Amino acid sequence: MPAQTNSPTAPEVGTATLSVRGLTKRYGDRTVLDGLDFDVGAGEVVSVLGANGSGKSTALRCVVGLVRPEGGSITVAGRTVTPGVPLSEVAMVFQRIHLVPRRSVLDNVCAGALGRLPLAQSWATWAFPQDLREEAMACLDRVGLADRAHDRAGRLSGGQQQRVAIARALCQRARVLLADEPVSALDPAAAESVMRLLHSLATEDRIAVAAVLHQPDLARRYSDRVVGLAEGRLEFALPAEELGDHRIDELYAADYRAEGAAL
Ligand SMILES: Nc1ncnc2c1ncn2[C@@H]1O[C@H](COP(=O)(O)OP(=O)(O)O)[C@@H](O)[C@H]1O
Ligand SMILES: [Mg+2]
């Protein structure tokens, strides 16, 4: 586990795998991200908390290249990410799990490598080379689902499908894994298993994990640090064990005040 700090904005230079500085995003005249700073180190799980609309998804979407920010910088392992251009080292999983349900679990995991395959072996053909299939099988084994490799993805439970989506990110060889409410649609036992997996990917595989959660209890138990967002700004950044209930109450109260002010 990396040394913990009260400020995710000021780790030792060069230690953060993902580093976000001054991230700004506007939709029309609405500022959704307002100079956001945060870091995620290799081997670390950072939970992102905040009320609906505080900018959590937009922040992660900027990092993965799905949304183009107006300002700020994003670096991954020291390399600057061009706004709006995805980087293979960064993968994202979502609450709504995007697998191809009629394809095998193994094919879905192989799809994580599409970005580095020649066009001739494209997604349309599903003719993944043997060495990739072996790599995908190892990724499935890592998430505990090697025995389901040849089932149709749509037959798996929600928790298993989320683990397949994580295996697909591993097959992409991601070093930064962003998870946007990865357990919001899961029952408590499945949520625990996904959080355990994310935690072990950080501690054992040294992946940098950032997870948007709505469950402070999961954030405390499975993350190293917690960042709180309100109105697109960093409200706090704390070691997980210092996340007191009052911080949670203040975080959501701040957003409700803002909502009231906007009415
Ligand atoms: N594509 C979009 N167009 C316009 N407004 C958007 C778009 N995406 C998000 N927003 C707005 O940006 C704000 C932050 O959204 P989001 O990042 O999804 O918040 P969170 O994930 O914290 O709930 C919200 O007010 C939302 O309505
Ligand atoms: Mg969201």
3-state SS, the chain, equals CCCCCCCCCCCCCCCEEEEEEEEEEEECCEEEEEEEEEEEECCCEEEEECCCCCCHHHHHHHHHCCCCCCEEEEEECCEECCCCCCCCCEEEEECCCCCCCCCEHHHHHHHHHHHHCCHHHCCCCCCCCHHHHHHHHHHHHHCCCHHHCCCEHHHCCHHHHHHHHHHHHHHCCCCEEEEECCCCCCCHHHHHHHHHHHHHHHHHHCCEEEEECCCHHHHHHHCCEEEEEECCEEEEEEEHHHCCHHHHHHHHHHHHHHHHHHC
| Sole residue written with tokens 């409410």 | 181
Segment among 94-98, 137-141, 194-198, 220-224 with least mean pLDDT: 94-98
Q: Confirm or reject: Cβ of 26 under 6 Å from ligand 1.
A: no
Distance from Cα 84 to the centre of ligand 2, integer Å: 18
Residues 19 and 79 in one domain: yes
Q: Look at residue 171 and tell me whether its pLDDT is greater than 50.
A: yes
Q: What is the pLDDT of residues 238-258, one digit of tens each?
A: 999 999 999 999 998 865 555
Residues 54 and 152 in one domain: no
Considering 131, 146, 173, which residue would you say is the last residue of a domain? Answer: 173
Neighbours of 226 (CB within 10 A): 26
Residues 96 and 75 in one domain: no
Residues 255 and 183 in one domain: yes
Q: Look at residue 2 and tell me whether its pLDDT is greater than 60.
A: no
Q: What is the mean pLDDT of residues 177-202?
A: 97
Q: Look at residue 208 and tell me whether its pLDDT is greater than 60.
A: yes
CATH number for the domain harbouring residue 153 = 3.40.50.300
pTM of the model as a whole: 0.90
Considering 125, 148, 173, which residue would you say is the last residue of a domain? Answer: 173
What total number of domains does the chain contain?
Answer: 2
Segment among 3-12, 19-28, 72-81, 123-132 with least mean pLDDT: 3-12
- The pLDDT score that the predictor gives to residue 127 is 80
Residue 34, H or E segment:
strand 30-41
Q: Confirm or reject: Cβ of 27 under 6 Å from ligand 1.
A: yes
Residues 105 and 163 in one domain: yes
CA distance 18 to 99: 26
Distance from Cα 7 to the centre of ligand 2, integer Å: 23
Q: What is the pLDDT of residues 45-100, one digit of tens each?
A: 999 999 999 999 999 999 999 999 999 999 998 888 888 788 899 999 999 999 99
Segment among 7-21, 33-47, 89-103, 169-183 with least mean pLDDT: 7-21
Domain of residue 139 covers: 92-173
Q: Look at residue 31 and tell me whether its pLDDT is greater than 90.
A: yes
Residues 194 and 207 in one domain: yes
Work out the pLDDT band at 16, boundaries 50, 70, 90.
confident
90 to 75, 85, 156: CA distances (angstroms): 11, 11, 25
CA distance 76 to 16: 8
| Ligand 1 atom nearest to 59, measured from its CA | 17
Q: Confirm or reject: Cβ of 69 under 6 Å from ligand 1.
A: no
Residues with CB under 5 A from ligand 2 (ion): 56-57
Segment among 16-20, 184-188, 197-201 with least mean pLDDT: 16-20
The chain-wide mean pLDDT, for the chain, equals: 89
Q: Which ligand is nearest to the CA of 66?
A: 1
Side by side, which strands form the sheet with 71-76? 30-41, 16-27, 71-76, 79-80
Q: What is the pLDDT of residues 103-136, one digit of tens each?
A: 999 999 999 998 888 765 665 666 888 999 999 9
Residue 75, H or E segment:
strand 71-76
Q: Look at residue 14 and tell me whether its pLDDT is greater than 50.
A: no
Share of the chain above pLDDT 70, in %: 87
- The pLDDT score that the predictor gives to residue 179 is 98
β-strand partners of 239: 225
Q: Confirm or reject: Cβ of 232 under 6 Å from ligand 1.
A: no
- The pLDDT score that the predictor gives to residue 12 is 43
Residues 85 and 1 in one domain: yes
Residue bearing the CA closest to ligand 1, atom 1: 27
Residues 3 and 78 in one domain: yes
Residues 83 and 193 in one domain: yes
Q: Look at residue 38 and tell me whether its pLDDT is greater than 70.
A: yes
Distance from Cα 53 to the centre of ligand 1, integer Å: 6
Residues 116 and 157 in one domain: yes
- The pLDDT score that the predictor gives to residue 253 is 85
Share of the chain above pLDDT 90, in %: 78
Residues 189 and 121 in one domain: no
Q: Confirm or reject: Cβ of 52 under 6 Å from ligand 1.
A: yes
CA distance 242 to 254: 19
Phi, psi of 87 (to 5 degrees): -120, 135
